[in-house]
Structure 1
């Protein structure tokens, strides 16, 4: 639990405009210090090592927060499926399907929606099937 809380806090901090500006300032200072250090290998190694370590750590941080956000989204959708009378409750167990089964289900729903168009002015009222522009 502590890691999730820390990663959420760090993700919010890392994604802030202040952090971005701070990173730009640090890179600018590093670039301006080049002539002082005669653009030597150690000067280049500092930025290379720093950015590599930060990138490596950010991958895990971002993955953790993305997993958490995905779990929350799935739970919300599951709740909506449960309270919707017309919904198929079988959809609540999609995580157990393999890739071939998911692709077959995706094709099934794509076929159901093919030719259906929503009139955005009426917000949900079905309009006539869309014209195939390839027939021109």
Structure 2
């Protein structure tokens, strides 16, 4: 089994409600055990070390799955652009542009869309709404 498959399975497991509940239970057990260990340095070191190691590993796991998901999205969008007759095939190579070129392209498309009124689910948006604000 390669790293991508392992990372995908681990990401699904780590993001599950059962795993979250398990983490809450472990944290509660650690907190409850505090008086037994008199809240000493070793007791605190256990949780600090554990969370640091888990966080360190999760960063790489999340980055791997994010990169994979981004690649999949790009491929799907590329296929849609390729298959759509009206689409500009030049859009398939946007990854090679630098930030200035991307910003210029974004402004070009914003200019094309100015004044457009969209009807979403029966509600009209006014043309002065900034669609870049989330």
So what's the TM-score if we normalise by structure 2? 0.90
Residue aligning to 1:47: 47
Residue aligning to 2:126: 130
Residue aligning to 1:64: 64
Q: Is the 8 A contact 2:114 2:127 kept in 1?
A: no
Cα distance in 2 for partners of 1:113, 1:63 equals 33
State the shift of 1:130 in Å.
2.9
State the shift of 1:114 in Å.
1.3
Q: Is the 8 A contact 2:81 2:89 kept in 1?
A: yes
Distance 1:67 1:96, change over 3 A: same
Gap runs ≥5 in structure 2:
130-134
Number of equivalenced pairs: 128
Cα distance in 2 for partners of 1:108, 1:36 equals 66
Residue aligning to 1:93: 93
1:29 match: secondary structure: helix
So what's the TM-score if we normalise by structure 1? 0.89
Cα distance in 2 for partners of 1:2, 1:43 equals 37
Cα distance in 2 for partners of 1:56, 1:63 equals 11
State the shift of 1:120 in Å.
2.5
C-alpha RMSD over aligned residues: 1.7
State the shift of 1:14 in Å.
0.1
Cα distance in 1 for partners of 2:127, 2:67 equals 40
